[in-house]
Structure 1
Amino acid sequence: MKKHVYIIGTLLMAIVLYQCATRKFINFSANPPKADVNSSPVVPPGQSISKMKLEEGMAISMIASEPLISTPVAMTFDKHNCIWVLEMQDYMPDTSAKGEELANGKVVVLTDKDKDGVMDGRTVVIDSLLMPRAFCLIEDGILVASPPNLYFYQLANDKVVKRTLVDPKYTEGGNVEHQPNGLYRGLDNWIYNANSPKRYRKAGDKWLIAPMQEQGQWGITQDNEGRIYSNDNSTNLNGDFFPPGLGLNNKNLKTKAGFNQRIVADNKVYPIRPTPGVNRGYMKGILDDSLRLNNFTAAAGPLIYRGGLFGPEYNFNGFTPEPSANLIKRNIITELRGNVVRGKQAYKGREFLASADERFRPVSLYDGPDGALYVVDMYRGIIQHKTYLTPYLKGEIEKRNLTQPLSCGRLYKIYPLGKKLNNVVFPADPIKLVALLGNTNGYVRDKAQQILVDTKPQAAIPALRQAIKSDNVLLVTHALWTLEGLGELIADEVLALLKSAQWKIRMQALTVSQSVIGKDSYKAFAGILQDMIARNDTAAAPYVGFVTNAVQPFDRKLADGILLALAKKFPKNNYVGDAIVSNLQGREHEFQKQMLALMPDTALAINKRIARTVIAIDDAKLNSDPALMAKYYPRGVAIYATVCKTCHGEDGNGVAGLAPPLNKSEIVNGPKATLTSILLKGLSGPVKVNGKVYQAPEIAGEMPGFADNKDYTDDDLAQVMNFIRRSWQNKGDKVNAPDVKTLRSKLATRQKTFTMDELTAPAKPEDAATKTN
């Protein structure tokens, strides 16, 4: 008996040692990890997984940790499956951000020399980067965003041989929390960004810069159809119903139906530890009775999982990290009628992954060559930038000694328990690369396409032409866009695919057709577009509107005929309406008259969408001269561009999901004490502007104040208020620095943000402003 007990004990010990050695953790939901609200010590890498609670049936491994890496914010794989990591080592060294200007960010390559699944080699490829926030491997080099610049570094044996400035204004405007990032290579061969109106593409030795729909805050991802997904700090998951290259032709059409939609409306989170260390933790409703965060407040880089390893129930799932709550959320996404995509949280009351370690900061998620889900953990105490850092959060940081250390960072991968992981090897043979375009792993398909487009092997072209005749939708999709990326796609191939019985193939053919419509083929394309309208193809209808723009240069009358027929067939469809308006740059008024003559009902969606754009154009003509505003209020213009524009828009008309309009706002044009109070201490919604009530989720729930930010003087705040009170169509009176100073003194003890009820109460705004709590 003793012998049997000994054997069993030995086996159990071996299992424990094996798990420690491979750094795996199996979820035991009956014994959740414990956390101390008053203490947040650094958990050694070998113990960090023991603090996690993971979805049953899944396993997690740590593949890299300090001292090998430090403050990672992004990662990627090269064609040899080596891991490249972007380190933002200069981010927030302390609560005052002292040392942020030292430019010690790096791009490093990690390798696994002993092939045990844990990285053990490190090579610094690029150093001395200032707050680097995104990178992307392409051809023989790497794009790196180091504000305000976007550079392309040509490499040879992982060493820089040449640096080219691609865009000196990559992060023009915005602050650290609201600057472009991502550099995500999309299905259509363009490189996309979150928080940016630009996309990029390498064409020989030249870099193309083109417009895109601006969306998201940190992180960007795509689904199998190439549709883009992102989020902002307080939203779970947003995304597009259409591929990102559509509808970009009319600068007067500021927002389009079907883009930057709320995919998952439920923003509830379920931390497994108290999370008082969030910026607004003192406000009612931010934390529950157990001091746990209620809703997203720092949603970060999402991932649409396409790895094919997790099983069918995980196909088309969206994962969103929440670093302030130390967790990763899983969402189940579904395609509904027509082009609509919606999702819901996978669980109630729990998360896919949560940690009891406050320093676990998952900021970005990725797929990989083995089908696993990869997690970038910045692993640090401070993640809130000083621009919005409240005194409350400063106190929490001091209370638990969260400032130091600054040199940690971890990478994990998650996969089904018991599943064997096999990295797909990308062959040199271009024919074998073409075969990988139909792989079940979306990362593998993307990477095979990118390698083919980057290396341009002519031997692959016949195989690609054969591949687009396949019944495998995924293979057809990637082969089609690979041919486009190589400049080898021809009109007849797309015309044939437009007649496919499979909607997913027709959808890709419609999207790519813009790149092949020419003077010899536009009539054939127009004929198919007209046929789609005649067949009442509801799913294709918005695409028909978008693509008709490519017919216009050759025959505007023919193109307008398609648009009018489309409007007549789908007059109540908002997506069709905006797709039509996307064709009308500079002639919106003229087309509006045609539409009203054809269909005089102004309540029809098509007429409302055109009218909305016409009104915006006419409104813009009444705006103040921006050059004059820059002359009078230079500091105000600069602050608005770096702090306010991201949420309120360049035109002051607000950004959906973020903030209401400032243009023609009663608040902006009202008593200066009201606006000054808001700028100093912030504002919580709902907010009424120009007769409309804005509240979450249409806008973020709160605007932070700047009373505690020492970077902005009384004169600075007065200037930015004067800028917005005299810009666009606003006519507010002047605010002086002494006005700000006086109110700042009265509000010195106040922590809570204002509500409009407080500020519009019968008492004077100054009286309401002095209420403290």
Structure 2
Amino acid sequence: MKRNLLWIGLVMVACGQTKNRQYNSQRQQDSLAIREQFASSPVNDGKQAMTHMQVEDGLEVQLVAAEPMVVAPVAATFDERGRMWVVEMTGFMPDTSGTGEDAPDGKIVILEDTTGDGVMDKRTVFLDSLVLPRAVCLVGNEVLVATPPELWSYENNHDKPGRKTLIDGQYAAGGNVEHQPNGLLRAMDNWIYNAKSDRRYRKAGGKWIKEPTVFRGQWGITQDDKGRLFYNNNSENLLGDYFLPGLGGKNSHQQNMAGYDQKIVRDNHVYPIRPTTGVNRGYIKGILNDSLRLVEFTAACGPVIYRGALLPAQYAGNAFVAEPSANLIKRNILSDSGYIVKGRQAYQGREFLASTDERFRPTGLYNGTDGALYFTDMYRGILQHKTYITAYLRNEIKMRELTRPLNCGRIYRIVPKGSRPAKTVLDTTAAGLLKMLQHPAGAVRDKAQQLITDRQLTALAPALRSLLLDSTSPVVRIHALWTLEGLHQLHKEDIAGILKGDDIALKAQALAALSGLPDKDVDGATLGTAGSLLQNPLLAPYVAYLLPAISRQDKTLAARLETTLLKTYARDRYVSAALVNNVFNREAALLQQLEAFNPDTSQVLHRQLRQVLKDMDGQANAAKMDALKLKYPRGYKVFNTVCQTCHGKNGNGIAAMAPPLNESNWVNGNKQALAAVVLYGLTGPVEVHGKVYKAPEINGDMPGIGGSDEFSDSDIAELLTFLRNAWNNKAGKVTAADIQQVRKQYNGRQKPFTAAELTK
């Protein structure tokens, strides 16, 4: 009987192995058939490309501009005349080695529809001879342009550049074209915010000022009707803030802030309608499915919250995200619960818009002043930057001749089927702008607010105050509040009236505005009213953020409120984050105060303070880092270009992107394993400091740079030596010979390592 069972078992094993071989063989045949079907990627003109798109029922895509009217658009904004100011990054990746990428061929162009048919027919070059420009913003009679590493302002003299002023010489210092600040979003609070950045900008008293803020995103940034910011990184569908943007980021010791950089939509699956083998790590199991289509985001960018009134009502407040690697645009539905924002994908198994054209590369989404949803399409084959490009992707590009052409580009808009919305030209009289501030389209309201504040139309203050008090629209009341703030006409009486009212959402806005008002414009009574709101859990975080302003007026009141917050909300992660935000260089004292009446180390506030104090220890060796920069200049350059963009300048990692390098067991451990990670990449999960990091907490994969032509073995060796001695790290030198040995050991390898492979 046992022999029969053994024989049956062997037969079953053999059958199973046969079935597996048959399955794998069939899968290979299917893959070959799919590749043969999509062996080429023909170049389609703008109208032909539209026939390859599938969009949600009831809507249609309309061509707004195509080459030669626009080339390689990566960012855009609208002016009060309904014109589009477009950034053309023509020089991005001319070939797989990036040859000539530093050529000054980028432009800022103005596109205009002079006939009213919705198609741009006039092109004006405002600026040319730019190297990889990445963002544009209009402020009064100035045009802000980001060209790494600087941020410049140009006077606009009848659509021609005038006097040039440097706003920030370090706006985009370090990093590479995929990992440098961008966005220049004029937010509702009258500040300009950016993605891949922890700085914000504003013009005051005729001068540009810069302030620290929360680090956000990677490419593209947007806001909702409450002025909250949303963004993403390349593998995360949508990230964002629960609280208004100007409150956080005041404590440089605080690396992560609860309530900011939150995962709004956790589902990162995508559903392309064509094979997407031309992605950088398409050879790795799980990146593509059996149909050779991308499974999850790998190039998420250019998000927008739809704030128009042209599309059907169900799209209002939805978040749309571009995924150029998968040739699609994602739709997400957002909802509020208190101050917490959560989102979900609108569909399972399909997309809002998808294309079968491999060259369709949506780079950014925008609210048009006409209410339509606009998007830019870079329309080119190569999407991956040379720093990270793999041999696999080089071959994909070669097989389908994706290097050329480089002179294409499109802009489209999505509208209800059969509609032809006319462009919106703002009435720029004072009365007209006041009316436009109440327009149903968010892009028009934003522009009206900006023009009122840019022109300092203070005569509108009484009318704005009436809107603030009497408008039946919560959105208009918010705009009225911040327009008054932008005019420097927001008074303590305005704030006090709101704080005594019943609208909790508007109270939160008022508390945020109050925290930024000059001390002379605030009195103790108003601050006392604000402080009394801490008993409301929905407003307690805002009161906590307000403590520095209260302290400047009344230190006794601030201390009393801080103690109450400590005792009441020490287990609340959002109030705790706000308290830590306020105590720069006072963290240890606050921890001592907390422990005096509650020594429970499990409290959220206790843990957050302990983490900040630990991070401060790692930041205290600036002199050592300066010496290392001089000793290993090439290593520091590679770190600054490649590593710090995900792991942070202080080596402590960046939330949602990558784990720490400081005191990392990988950096300080076996140098061959570290070299293998840097050369070939690492796919998660990975354990650092005893903590396991994995997607979606961080990017699932770290790309290797061993296939890049940019860095020699000596450069990589110096990078590793720099890292192994940086911050609190203490490990030995790595030589070029060590790198060559690892290359020889793993000759021919393409895919990244797993942690398990390298720790055997």
> 1:140-159 alignment to 2 at 5 Å?
140-159=141-160
> 1:53-72 alignment to 2 at 5 Å?
53-72=54-73
> 1:180-579 alignment to 2 at 5 Å?
180-336=181-337, 338-419=338-419, 421-470=421-470, 471-516=472-517, 518=519, 521-533=522-534, 536-579=535-578
- What is the rounded CA distance, in whole Å, between the counterparts of 2:274 and 2:235 in structure 1? 19
Q: For residues 503-556 of structure 1, give each alpha carbon's deviation from its aligned partner in whole angstroms, at most 9, with x where no partner exists.
A: 2211110110113362573422331233212xx311101001001111122333
Measured after TM superposition, the shift of residue 103 of structure 1 is: 0.8
Q: Is the 8 A contact 1:95 1:386 kept in 2?
A: yes
Q: Which moved more, 1:322-331 or 1:551-560?
A: 551-560
- What is the rounded CA distance, in whole Å, between the counterparts of 1:443 and 1:96 in structure 2? 39
Match of 1:24 in 2: none
Structure 1 335/252 Cα, relative in aligned 2: closer, same or farther at 3 Å? same
- What is the rounded CA distance, in whole Å, between the counterparts of 1:420 and 1:147 in structure 2? 38
Q: Is the 8 A contact 2:319 2:331 kept in 1?
A: yes
Measured after TM superposition, the shift of residue 596 of structure 1 is: 1.2
Residue 302 of structure 1 aligns to a residue whose secondary structure is strand
- What is the rounded CA distance, in whole Å, between the counterparts of 1:259 and 1:310 in structure 2? 29
Match of 1:19 in 2: none
Measured after TM superposition, the shift of residue 131 of structure 1 is: 0.3
- What is the rounded CA distance, in whole Å, between the counterparts of 2:621 and 2:115 in structure 1? 68
The one-letter code matched in structure 1 to 2:392 is Y
Residue 674 of structure 1 aligns to a residue whose secondary structure is helix
- What is the rounded CA distance, in whole Å, between the counterparts of 2:78 and 2:283 in structure 1? 41
- What is the rounded CA distance, in whole Å, between the counterparts of 1:244 and 1:739 in structure 2? 46
- What is the rounded CA distance, in whole Å, between the counterparts of 1:521 and 1:683 in structure 2? 53
- What is the rounded CA distance, in whole Å, between the counterparts of 2:284 and 2:81 in structure 1? 49
The one-letter code matched in structure 2 to 1:361 is R
Unaligned runs of 5+ in 1: 1-33, 762-773
Match of 1:698 in 2: 697
**TM-score normalized by the length of structure 2:** 0.93
Measured after TM superposition, the shift of residue 193 of structure 1 is: 0.4
The one-letter code matched in structure 2 to 1:550 is A
Residue 275 of structure 1 aligns to a residue whose secondary structure is coil
- What is the rounded CA distance, in whole Å, between the counterparts of 2:379 and 2:452 in structure 1? 36
Q: Which moved more, 1:606-615 or 1:732-741?
A: 606-615
- What is the rounded CA distance, in whole Å, between the counterparts of 2:452 and 2:475 in structure 1? 16
Measured after TM superposition, the shift of residue 586 of structure 1 is: 1.2
Q: For residues 321-379 of structure 1, give each alpha carbon's deviation from its aligned partner in whole angstroms, at most 9, with x where no partner exists.
A: 1001100000000112x311110000011000000100110000000111110010001
- What is the rounded CA distance, in whole Å, between the counterparts of 1:35 and 1:152 in structure 2? 50
- What is the rounded CA distance, in whole Å, between the counterparts of 1:135 and 1:544 in structure 2? 35
Q: Is the 8 A contact 1:35 1:356 kept in 2?
A: no
Q: Is the 8 A contact 1:480 1:489 kept in 2?
A: yes
Q: Is the 8 A contact 1:678 1:754 kept in 2?
A: yes
Structure 1 520/340 Cα, relative in aligned 2: closer, same or farther at 3 Å? closer
- What is the rounded CA distance, in whole Å, between the counterparts of 1:383 and 1:320 in structure 2? 17
Q: For residues 688-711 of structure 1, give each alpha carbon's deviation from its aligned partner in whole angstroms, at most 9, with x where no partner exists.
A: 111111101111111111111121
Match of 2:678 in 1: 679
Q: Is the 8 A contact 1:517 1:525 kept in 2?
A: no
- What is the rounded CA distance, in whole Å, between the counterparts of 1:249 and 1:757 in structure 2? 40
- What is the rounded CA distance, in whole Å, between the counterparts of 2:145 and 2:713 in structure 1? 36
Residue 242 of structure 2 aligns to a residue whose secondary structure is coil
- What is the rounded CA distance, in whole Å, between the counterparts of 1:150 and 1:453 in structure 2? 22
- What is the rounded CA distance, in whole Å, between the counterparts of 2:85 and 2:556 in structure 1? 51
The one-letter code matched in structure 2 to 1:117 is G
- What is the rounded CA distance, in whole Å, between the counterparts of 1:621 and 1:110 in structure 2? 50
- What is the rounded CA distance, in whole Å, between the counterparts of 2:154 and 2:37 in structure 1? 46
Superposed CA RMSD: 1.5
Q: Is the 8 A contact 2:382 2:403 kept in 1?
A: yes
Measured after TM superposition, the shift of residue 60 of structure 1 is: 1.2
Q: For residues 167-208 of structure 1, give each alpha carbon's deviation from its aligned partner in whole angstroms, at most 9, with x where no partner exists.
A: 111111111100000001001111110001111111243110
Match of 1:20 in 2: none
Amino-acid identity (%): 48
Match of 2:607 in 1: 608
- What is the rounded CA distance, in whole Å, between the counterparts of 2:224 and 2:408 in structure 1? 32
Q: Is the 8 A contact 2:458 2:489 kept in 1?
A: no
- What is the rounded CA distance, in whole Å, between the counterparts of 1:520 and 1:317 in structure 2? 37
Q: Which moved more, 1:516-525 or 1:632-641?
A: 516-525
- What is the rounded CA distance, in whole Å, between the counterparts of 1:292 and 1:652 in structure 2? 35
- What is the rounded CA distance, in whole Å, between the counterparts of 2:85 and 2:532 in structure 1? 48
Q: Is the 8 A contact 1:53 1:353 kept in 2?
A: yes
- What is the rounded CA distance, in whole Å, between the counterparts of 2:163 and 2:619 in structure 1? 44
Match of 1:3 in 2: none
- What is the rounded CA distance, in whole Å, between the counterparts of 1:287 and 1:221 in structure 2? 30
Q: Is the 8 A contact 2:511 2:530 kept in 1?
A: no
Task: Give the number of aligned pairs.
Answer: 725
Q: Which moved more, 1:465-474 or 1:81-90?
A: 465-474
> 1:51-130 alignment to 2 at 5 Å?
51-130=52-131
- What is the rounded CA distance, in whole Å, between the counterparts of 2:447 and 2:501 in structure 1? 26
Measured after TM superposition, the shift of residue 608 of structure 1 is: 2.1
The one-letter code matched in structure 1 to 2:339 is N
Match of 2:746 in 1: 747
Match of 1:634 in 2: 633
Residue 387 of structure 1 aligns to a residue whose secondary structure is coil
The one-letter code matched in structure 2 to 1:569 is T
> 1:635-674 alignment to 2 at 5 Å?
635-674=634-673
Between 1 and 2, higher relative CO (CA 8 Å, sep ≥ 6) is seen in 2
- What is the rounded CA distance, in whole Å, between the counterparts of 2:325 and 2:207 in structure 1? 41
**TM-score normalized by the length of structure 1:** 0.92
Measured after TM superposition, the shift of residue 236 of structure 1 is: 0.4
The one-letter code matched in structure 1 to 2:640 is A
- What is the rounded CA distance, in whole Å, between the counterparts of 1:154 and 1:517 in structure 2? 29
Match of 2:10 in 1: none
Measured after TM superposition, the shift of residue 248 of structure 1 is: 2.7
Measured after TM superposition, the shift of residue 624 of structure 1 is: 7.4
- What is the rounded CA distance, in whole Å, between the counterparts of 1:735 and 1:161 in structure 2? 51
Residue 178 of structure 2 aligns to a residue whose secondary structure is helix
Q: Is the 8 A contact 2:570 2:604 kept in 1?
A: yes
Q: For residues 138-181 of structure 1, give each alpha carbon's deviation from its aligned partner in whole angstroms, at most 9, with x where no partner exists.
A: 11120000111111010111011211111111111111100000
Measured after TM superposition, the shift of residue 627 of structure 1 is: 1.6
Q: Is the 8 A contact 1:361 1:379 kept in 2?
A: yes
- What is the rounded CA distance, in whole Å, between the counterparts of 2:512 and 2:651 in structure 1? 32
Q: Is the 8 A contact 1:227 1:240 kept in 2?
A: yes
Residue 469 of structure 2 aligns to a residue whose secondary structure is coil
The one-letter code matched in structure 2 to 1:751 is Q
Task: Confirm or deny that 1:138 pairs with 2:139.
Answer: yes
The one-letter code matched in structure 1 to 2:629 is A
The one-letter code matched in structure 1 to 2:544 is G
Q: Which moved more, 1:482-491 or 1:227-236?
A: 482-491
- What is the rounded CA distance, in whole Å, between the counterparts of 1:77 and 1:516 in structure 2? 29
Q: For residues 485-509 of structure 1, give each alpha carbon's deviation from its aligned partner in whole angstroms, at most 9, with x where no partner exists.
A: 1112111111111222112211110
Unaligned runs of 5+ in 2: 1-34
